[in-house]
Amino acid sequence: MTGLTAGKLPPAMMAKLLRHFAVSDPSLKLGPAMGEDAAAIRLDGGRYLIVKTDPVTFTTHRAAQLLLEVNANDVATRGARPRYLQVAAFFPPGTTAAAITRYFVQLQTQAKRMGVTITGGHTEVTDAVTRPILVGNMLGFVPSKRLLSTADAKAGDVLVMTGAAGIEGTAILAHDHGRQIAAAFGQASRRAAQRLAVVPGISVVEAASIAAAMGAHAMHDPTEGGVGAAIHEMAYAAGLRANVQIDQIPVLKITADICRLFRINPLGLTSSGALLIALGPRNASRLIRRLNQAGIAAAAIGRFETGSGVTARSQGKPSRLPWFKRDEILRVRAD
């Protein structure tokens, strides 16, 4: 058998592996499952503890900020407020004390900005890594009546998306391949692409909070594999079919341009900064208006219905939205 390539495990393999984690503990409300963003553990007093672990592996640029934001996003999809973070930091031999100190300062600065407390973790210099790797474990709390999951979309729900596809991936590519992008589109475009990590940014905590308050049934944070993989994960988790209008999925012009340059699909590009929300049709238009009033771009991109998988249309014709088993950013790195 051939070895695996870089990226997430293939969906079929992941689903098979997760079946080994049979859960008998009644306190675990949400455990290991395909597409679920974070676990939920039942506490006394009608609350759940939300637990999430995620690393930053695609880039070292703004790694500390990314670590906090991507973990906070997943906690927020459960309807919870991110509160505490444990960090495991691994540095290759030869990393200077000054460089490690910068990571720690950046972690604390971003944590303070987000109202998150760093409670500890582990730091190590090891030849097991060739560049700095940060792994975060984020905790938060949510009242039992407001707990959300990826799997709770209902047939007839509208699929609303905030932000745009590939924001995070665009910013990473602009930093790691800036010269090539500047040569193709100019320095102003390169800088604009890099700035996407800040404006609109990759946090969806506010959007998730608004959606939870307005009756969302389910939420999912598109990360590795992009919006395409996330929609498939959401449909799989709910046991439904997602019917998607590809033309309605927001893609920024700079993202589309850069993806054409590297011959990749923006719908498979890591997409922190977007949020997928399933909610009843009566509330969908109200939610989009409320998000827009808060300065958050949002659009209805499809519906959930009985069945399985994902069907798609583009320009009025049947189309295909693949389950991206490998993030498109890795194709650029491979080239």
Same domain, yes or no, for 110 and 162? no
Residue 13's SS3 state is: helix
pLDDT for 334 equals 52
Task: Copy the structure tokens of residue 260.
Answer: 């054409």
The domain that holds 195 is classified in CATH as 3.90.650.10
pLDDT for 60 equals 82
Q: In 10 A of CB 302, how many CB atoms?
A: 27
Same domain, yes or no, for 141 and 93? yes
Indicate whether 70 belongs to any domain. yes
Paired strand residues for 313 = 245, 318
Q: DSSP string spanning 209-264? A: HHHHHTT-SEEE---TTHHHHHHHHHHHHHTSEEEEEGGGS---HHHHHHHHHHT-
pLDDT for 123 equals 97
Total domains, the chain: 2
Indicate whether 325 belongs to any domain. yes
Indicate whether 78 belongs to any domain. yes
Indicate whether 153 belongs to any domain. no
Same domain, yes or no, for 189 and 329? yes
Indicate whether 182 belongs to any domain. yes
Same domain, yes or no, for 184 and 38? no
Q: DSSP string spanning 300-314? A: EEEEEESSSEEEEEE
- Domain residues for the domain of 162 are 158-334
Same domain, yes or no, for 31 and 170? no
Same domain, yes or no, for 119 and 201? no
Indicate whether 105 belongs to any domain. yes
pLDDT for 12 equals 86
Q: Which residues contact 134 (CB under 8 A, 6 or more apart)?
A: 55, 56, 63, 64, 67, 87, 88, 89, 90, 103
pLDDT for 333 equals 67
pLDDT for 314 equals 95
Q: Tell me which of 146, 170, 189 is where a domain ends.
A: 146
pLDDT for 9 equals 86
- Distance CA(212)–CA(219), nearest Å, equals 9
pLDDT for 20 equals 85
**Is the bond leading into 200 cis (omega within 30 degrees of zero)?**
yes
The domain that holds 46 is classified in CATH as 3.30.1330.10
pTM: 0.91
Given a contact cutoff of 8 angstroms between Cβ atoms, the answer to whether 89 and 121 are in contact is yes
Indicate whether 238 belongs to any domain. yes
pLDDT for 58 equals 80
Handedness of CA 186, 175, 193, 335 (dihedral sign): positive
Same domain, yes or no, for 164 and 75? no
Indicate whether 90 belongs to any domain. yes
pLDDT for 335 equals 46
Q: Which residue positions in the chain have pLDDT lower than 50?
A: 335
- Distance CA(140)–CA(81), nearest Å, equals 5
Task: Copy the structure tokens of residue 280.
Answer: 């009843």
